[in-house]
Structure 1
Amino acid sequence: MARKLIIIVAFFNATLMVNAQEAFDSVNYANRYNQLFPAFNNSHSVSKQLSRTEKIAGLSTFWSEAKFGFANFDLVPSLNWDSAYLAFIPKVEATKTVSGYYKVLKQFNQLLKDGHSRIMEPQYLFEQSTFSVPLQVKCIEGKAIITALLENKNLPLSVKVGNEIIAVDDVPVQQFIRNKISPFIKFSTSQDSIARIYSYELLSGAKNSKVQLTLKDNNGVQQQYILSRTRDLNEITPVTFTWLKDSIAYISINSFISSKTPEQFDSLFNVIAVSRGLIIDVRNNRGGNSNNGYEILGRLTDTAFATNQSIFHKYNPAQRSWGNPANEIEKNQFWWKPYKKDTYKKPVVLLTGALTYSAAEDFTAAFKCMKRGLVIGEKTGGSTGNPMAFALPGGGIGFVCSKRDLMPDGTEFVGKGISPNIEIAEKIEEIKGGKDVVLARAIQSITQLIK
């Protein structure tokens, strides 16, 4: 009887084992989906030829990444992203070269009207546009005006600040921009587009390549020059410092990319501390890491201050299957608590312009909302966020802005720009006279406060 009972129990247990089902493996489930959305790895192969399949696949990748990851579709309400995708399939199929293919992808990206979403061609093509002549150029009163000479040894003596660029390689400037630049650039606002075109794109090309410029001098005389592209557009001097009259300190912060920027500010702090007022210039700062900017703001106050509000959207396909809204919104905001020993408490003015961008706009937004001082200059570029990278055929890279930011008080500035407290537009005659009217207004403002 005992033997029979043992056999029955063993048979029952075996039956349970056969019929038992595995528990849900949440780790494996998450890992499988993470494999479908990997972190970017820039080790994909470079190719100088693309098949029809690769061309369509690349377009499809960008379309898909944007559809599920782009943070700012509400800012382009008239855009039907799916219809645009279908319209661009024959366009990419018709391209004959890798360069031509990437130009079409850039046109597709431009529909998003976002400065943090972009197409970067393979490195061997990208390098053909990373140098420029040693001139600073801005659009002033609708004209391409030289506003600074960045070196003298490779420039003719007759090239002067205030000269107008009339033509590039014998093509009138506006025609050159319209045909060669405007269809392919990324931008968030009109001021962003204009600043990007004149300051970076207009004279860009391969290292040491030549460009012919037709300039009009201050007397209205036109003359042609052939200049070399010796200026690396990726080379930036992060911080420069100088003294102005009345013991006013001036510091130009041109990048927040590296932690060396706040370290340089800290190294200057004891010098700045004895000034009667401080001017911080971020007119040429294209961004980087926002925390590097907050580190500097943390030296201007001993009170915690709010950083930007960050908006994320989360897609839930099950809700969509039930006929409910498929996206929900998550909002985050952080406070920066100053932690360094010494604080600068004297008057501060911040200078901004259309080239003030990304992390530099985060810096501007926090500064303005903490009411630490006046913002003087021009409206900022109007683009910040967090670009998400992914591989494209032939060795290129796509980026889609995955995060929406608001100013700390909830004010929109993506697609708009941050307005200064005092807005000042530069004039050609002032440039010719060597006058920086924005800086002059900042000096005036601080002088009034310290008297």
Structure 2
Amino acid sequence: MKILLKLFLHVVLLTAMLTPNIMMSQHYLLSGQEIITRQLNGTGTDWRISPDLNPDRLEIYFNNNEETQEVRFITDMDSITFQLHNRDTIRFVVILNQTDTAFTEIVGVHDLPNKMTDEQKIYTLSLFWSEAKYNFANYDLLSFSWDSLYQATIPKALDTKNDYEFSRLLSWFAAKLNDGHSQFLNTGKFGIYCDYAPLSLVSVGEKIYIKSYRETLKNELELGAEIVKLEGKPTKQYMEEEVLPYISASTEANKWMIGTSSFPYGLKSQPLTMTFRNSMGEDKTVQIERNGESTRYDNEGREKYQMMGATPKYTDNLNLTYTDDSIALLSVTRFYPEEETIEQIEQIMPQLLKANGLVVDIRHNGGGSTRVAYSLIQRMIKQNYFLGLAGETRKSDAVYKAMGFGYDEYKPYYENNVYRQEDADTIRISDTIERITCPVVILIGEYTFSAAEDFLIMLYEIQDRPQLIGIPTGGSTGAPLMVEDLSGDIIARICTRRCKFPYSGKPFVKFGVQPDITLYPTITQILNNQDVVMDKGIEVVRAKMGTSN
């Protein structure tokens, strides 16, 4: 068997060496599994063997101060280690299950990619501009000329020095729509060039504080300290000039929330420089390397470091716990997968029906399927029906648009300013559905988004609905149109539906759903992991139960 395998490998290597444009070294790796371990400088991660790619390429990014990096592949049968230099290309063969051959290469890269032609840049920009011009739901709310912005952006696009810079410009262009469902998507194209600083920040109002950090930074940072400067600029100025203009969001609060969590992520070659004010009132400037992910795991794939400070509690999608007096605390972190989530809700419903009270926490629910919202609403209200979403969407008619040049009654078509009204559907509730009769409150927050907001919009105007406690939601929902480039890859999305409250027809986008009881946690409460919003929810439920603990 070993002799046959060696003959097979010699044939593979000889064939590869004789194939034009394939320069192979005498290296091969044996594997009986498709998923193997790839280590970079001792930090491990998964690597999928892909015989269908030729070559199966791994690019390794080099900072200015890096000369050599160690790359190691470990399989269930074998291992191989390389010392890679900047701009090196190392080629080897992976033999999978003694039958499939993956011609693999490792490439050391330093410069950001600059592969897009001027024609491709103009096409990408024009595609988004055109789709938004005719399909963006809130086009009539823009305070500027979309066409003029597009025209002014063309020379900026042609002037970008590399693909990363062009990508940033596209994000800026889309963010001008001020909509959380209209943006260019992160396709992972620049993943090898970027990383995050290993710390977590939180915005309270328009101030930013250090919430947690990796233990390796304990001598440099201070928990709860306010960041007063970023990259040498006052924090508010930096955010308004360098961060917020690139964030697609519908409310200023949502922009600050997304921006605060996203700016520590950036190019590995650009450390994060920030000045914070410590507890003694002294300002201290530090420089934090953006190496969080690349230094996160050991060679066994385990977390190497602990985080210090307030850390989020990660739970399953539906997590159910109880207080001592049988108040059910139900956390729902997403409304997908649709059928699976609906089934999970049905499975826990018998327990909820027996609870003395219920707190539903959707503060970290980013959305999913509106049908999941239906399954919750029908259990929470007394009525035998409720209204679905109302809304508006753009309407186009080529003939009417042509007539709009000379006839006033058709002029709105000529100006692309016609909307089709969508009345709310009536959702009937089956007599077989058992209702939750105990007191219920719902916790909401800035991360409550999309279909989770649909849930609240449909519930909001119903009589005797559960109280909402927390802070205003993200303020964006509405049937995004997926935009594909010429290769068929999805590169962006555009909101096509302006959702409204179903009974009153009031707008929702740009405002979010407002709580009945507004409660903003302080930085001290956040650092102490004190969940004052949950505490308030339990307090309100107990008051409705007629008990006090």
Which piece of structure 1 moves more, 328-337 or 51-60? 328-337
Is the aligned partner of 1:145 residue 2:220? no
Pair 1:134–1:247, CA change in 2 (3 A): farther
Is the aligned partner of 1:250 residue 2:329? yes
Equivalent position amino acid for 1:52 in 2: D
Pair 1:88–1:206, CA change in 2 (3 A): closer
Pair 1:105–1:228, CA change in 2 (3 A): closer
Shift of 1:237: 4.0
More helix by share: 1
Stretches of structure 2 that go unaligned for 5 or more consecutive residues are: 1-112, 298-302, 304-311, 405-409
Contact 2:392–2:419, Cα closer than 8 Å, also in 1: no
Which piece of structure 1 moves more, 332-341 or 302-311? 332-341
Pair 1:434–1:120, CA change in 2 (3 A): closer
Pairs within 5 Å for 1:257-406: 257-259=336-338, 260-301=340-381, 303-323=384-404, 324=410, 325-326=412-413, 327-339=418-430, 341-370=433-462, 371-392=464-485, 397-406=491-500
Contact 1:388–1:401, Cα closer than 8 Å, also in 2: yes
The counterpart of 1:108, out of the listed 173, 188, 192, is: 173
Shift of 1:246: 2.9
Pairs within 5 Å for 1:11-410: 49-76=115-142, 78-125=143-190, 133=198, 135=200, 137-146=201-210, 162-165=224-227, 173-174=235-236, 177-198=239-260, 200-204=261-265, 228-229=292-293, 237-259=316-338, 260-301=340-381, 303-323=384-404, 324=410, 325-326=412-413, 327-339=418-430, 341-370=433-462, 371-392=464-485, 397-409=491-503, 410=505
Contact 1:254–1:284, Cα closer than 8 Å, also in 2: yes
Contact 1:313–1:330, Cα closer than 8 Å, also in 2: no
Is the aligned partner of 1:422 residue 2:513? no
Contact 1:301–1:338, Cα closer than 8 Å, also in 2: no
What SS is found at the alignment partner of 1:448?
helix
2-side partners of 1:344 and 1:356: how far apart?
23
Shift of 1:159: 7.6
Equivalent position amino acid for 1:380 in 2: T
2-side partners of 1:296 and 1:206: how far apart?
43
What SS is found at the alignment partner of 2:380?
coil
1-side partners of 2:351 and 2:212: how far apart?
28
2-side partners of 1:142 and 1:211: how far apart?
20
What SS is found at the alignment partner of 2:509?
coil
Equivalent position amino acid for 1:403 in 2: R
Pair 1:437–1:59, CA change in 2 (3 A): same
Aligned length: 398
Contact 1:54–1:393, Cα closer than 8 Å, also in 2: no
More strand by share: 2
What SS is found at the alignment partner of 1:65?
helix
What SS is found at the alignment partner of 1:416?
coil
Is the aligned partner of 1:411 residue 2:506? yes
Which piece of structure 1 moves more, 343-352 or 253-262? 253-262
Shift of 1:113: 1.0
2-side partners of 1:334 and 1:378: how far apart?
28
What SS is found at the alignment partner of 1:296?
helix
Shift of 1:406: 0.4
Give the alignment's TM-score, normalised by structure 1: 0.77
Equivalent position amino acid for 2:475 in 1: G
Stretches of structure 1 that go unaligned for 5 or more consecutive residues are: 1-46
2-side partners of 1:276 and 1:439: how far apart?
16
Equivalent position amino acid for 1:399 in 2: R
What fraction of aligned residue pairs are identical, expressed as a percent? 28
Give the alignment's TM-score, normalised by structure 2: 0.64
Contact 1:49–1:98, Cα closer than 8 Å, also in 2: yes
Q: Relative contact order (alpha carbons < 8 A, sep ≥ 6): 1 or 2 greater?
A: 1
Pair 1:165–1:66, CA change in 2 (3 A): same
2-side partners of 1:276 and 1:313: how far apart?
47
